[in-house]
Amino acid sequence: MPTVTIDGQKVRIKKGLTVLDAAKKAGIWIPTLCYHPAVASEASCRLCMVELDRGDWRQLITACNYPVRQDIVVYVSSERAEKARRGVMELLLARAPESRELAALACRMGVEKTHYPSVTESQRNCILCGLCVSVCEQVIGRAAIGFAGRGAERTVAAPFRQASEDCIGCGACAAVCPVGTIKIRLHKDEREIEISPFKSRAKMVLCERCGMPMYSGQVSREAMSKVKIGRKAFTEYLRLCPKCRRTETAERFASVPVRRE
C-alpha cells in the first residue's frame, strides 16, 4: 500500500485510489463540486487543486482523480494550491452569482467575493460540473440529458432542448446538483413531476388511499423491474404515501383484538 503524505501527515491507501480518498482518510478537507462517489470523476470543476511534489518541481493536480500508484507527497494548504482553488472559485462565483450553495462553499473556503464580472451565462446558475449528466447515464442508465454546444456556450440539455422521452422523472440529477440549479417541480393538478430546467415531465403514481401524487410512474416501473426478491412486499410498499401507510398500519393494529390473559 503506497503512502501519501498530505501536508506532512502520512496515510496509507490502496493503490489506485485517489489523493482525495487519501485526504478523507487523513481527515483533511479539500473542497469539491464535480466529485461524487457514485460516478466516475471528470475533474471538470478544477476546485480540488492540490500540489504534487515531483522532486525538483511541484505540479498542480486535481485531487479527485489523481491515482495514487506509489508513495507521493502532496500539499493541500500550500500557498500555490490555495491560490489556485481561490482563483477557480472566483471564476465560478462570477458564473453563478445567485447560487446560495456555491456561496456557502466559497465562504467555507474563505472566499468572500469574486473580483470578476459575470461574462458568461449559457444557463442560469449552472457551473457545468456535469454531475447530473454522469448520474443520468452511469447510475440511472437513461442518458436523458447531455452536454450541448462547446466553450462558453456549453450547456446541459435534453436532446434538441425539448422534453426528453428518455427522462423517467427520477430526480437523481436534482439530488446531485451541488449548486441547487436543477429543481423538481410538482404539478399536482396535472399529477405530473417536472425536472427543471429540462422541461421533462413524468406522470405520477397516486396514493391509493388519499390520492396524493407520490413519485413518477416510470421510476416505480424501473424499480420494480430491478427487484428480485421480496417483490410482493415491495409492491405493497409502493402503494401508499408514507402518511397513509402509517395510518393503515395503525388501523391494522387497532383491528387486532388485544389478548388479555
Partner 1 sequence: MSEEIELTGQIVKHYGSDKGMLIPMMQDLQAECGYLPIGHLRCLAERLDVPLSRLYSVATFYSSFRLAPKGAHDVTLCMGTVCYLKGSPMILEAISREFNVEAGGTTADRLFSLQAVNCVGACALAPVMVVDGKYYDGVTPQSAIEIIQAFPCEEETAEPSAKEGAK
Partner 2 sequence: MNTAAAKFAAPADIEAFSQAVRGKIRADSKVVRVCIGTGCAAKGSRKIYELFRQAAEQSMDDVKIEAKCVGCHGFCERGPIVVVEPGEILYQRVEEPDVAEIFRETVLGGRVIERLLYEDSATGTRASKAEEIPFYAVQKRIVLENNGRIDPARITDYIAQGGYSALAKVLSSMTPEDVIAEVEASGLRGRGGGGFPTARKWRSCREAKGKPKYVVCNGDEGDPGAFMDRSIMEGNPHSVIEGMLIGAYAIGSEQGYIYVRNEYPLAVEHLGTAISQAREMGLLGKNILGGTLSFDIEINRGGGAFVCGESTALMASLEGRAGVPRAKYIHTVESGLRNKPTNLNNVETWANIPAIINRGGRWFADIGTKNSKGTKVFSLVGNVRNTGLVEVPMGITLRRIIDEIGGGVRDGKRFKAVQTGGPSGGCIPAEHLDTRVDFDELTKLGSMMGSGGMIVMDEDTCMVRVAKYFTEFLQKESCGKCTPCREGLAQMLHILGRITDGEGQVGDIVRLEELADLLEGTALCALGKTAANPVLSTIRYFRDEYDAHIRDRHCPAKECRGLFRYEIDEEACKACGICLKACPVDAITGEKKVPHVIDQDKCTLCGTCWEKCPFTAVMKV
Choose among partner 2, partner 1, none what residue 143 binds, the Cβ cut-off being 5 to 8 Å by kind.
partner 1
Nearest-angstrom CA–CA distance, 234 and 227 = 8
Nearest-angstrom CA–CA distance, 182 and 199 = 11
β 192-196/200-206 pair status = antiparallel
Q: Kindly state whether residue 130 participates in binding partner 2, applying the rule CB under 8 A.
A: yes
Say how many residues make up the chain: 261
C-beta of residue 177 within 8 angstroms of C-beta of residue 166: no
Choose among partner 1, partner 2, none what residue 218 binds, the Cβ cut-off being 5 to 8 Å by kind.
none
DSSP state of 6: E
Choose among partner 1, partner 2, none what residue 80 binds, the Cβ cut-off being 5 to 8 Å by kind.
partner 2
Shortest distance (Å) from residue 159 CB to partner 1:
4
Per-residue interface string for the shown chain with partner 2, residues 133-172, x marking contact by CB under 8 A: --------------x-xxxxxx------------------
Among positions 30, 39, 45, 145, the unique one binding partner 2 when judged by CB under 8 A = 45
Number of H helices, E strands in the chain: 8, 11
Q: Which one of the spans 70-78, 90-98, 177-185, 246-254 is the region binding partner 2 (CB under 8 A)?
A: 90-98
DSSP state of 4: E
Shortest distance (Å) from residue 192 CB to partner 2:
31
Give the type of residue at 151: G
E strands, 117-218, are: 146-148, 155-157, 183-187, 192-196, 200-206, 213-216
Among positions 69, 71, 124, 147, the unique one binding partner 1 when judged by CB under 8 A = 147
Hey, CA dihedral for 10, 56, 69, 89, is it positive or negative? Answer: positive
**How many residues in the shown chain lie near partner 2 by CB under 8 A?**
35
Only one residue has cell 480540488, namely 48
Q: Kindly state whether residue 87 participates in binding partner 2, applying the rule CB under 8 A.
A: yes
Cell of 179: 449548486
Nearer to partner 1, 49 or 176 (CB): 176
Per-residue interface string for the shown chain with partner 1, residues 152-171, x marking contact by CB under 8 A: -----xxxx---x-x-----
C-beta of residue 42 within 8 angstroms of C-beta of residue 130: yes
**Binding residues for partner 1 (CB under 8 A):** 137, 142-150, 157-160, 164, 166
**Binding residues for partner 2 (CB under 8 A):** 42-47, 49, 60-62, 65-67, 80, 84, 87-88, 91-92, 94-95, 116-117, 119-120, 127-128, 130, 147, 149-154
